[in-house]
Amino acid sequence: FVGIGIEDNLAFLEKEHGIGFRSAVELGPLAATLMKMPHLSYCGVDELAIEVCKLGLRKYRPSSLAFSWGDYYLDEELV
């Protein structure tokens, strides 16, 4: 699994639900190492998307919790 704060999330799933995982990779430190940009270690998803992909994710965020991702068209660039 890969993500931001993923290790904490997976530890919670294992502790609370008994679901175990083989490995997890934190995106920030991975991006920092690969791109030789140490400040990326501390970035969240939005900041990484801007720094790494030049993609502003905020405009794609749902405006409410009732948002249906199945009804949302993701073009090839966004995917």
Domain boundaries, the chain: 2-60
Separation between Cα atoms, residue 74 and residue 18, nearest integer Å: 34
DSSP secondary structure, 3-42, as one string: ESSHHHHHHHHHHHH----S--EEHHHHHHHHHT-GGGGG
Render pLDDT for 38-79 as a digit per residue (tens, 0 to 9): 999 988 888 888 888 888 877 766 655 565 656 666 677 665
C-alpha–C-alpha distance, residues 48 and 2, integer Å: 13
At residue 50, φ and ψ (nearest 5 deg) are -70, -50
Residue 33 clears pLDDT 90, i.e. is over it: yes
Mean pLDDT calculated for residue range 11-30: 87
- Predicted confidence at residue 65, as pLDDT, reads 58
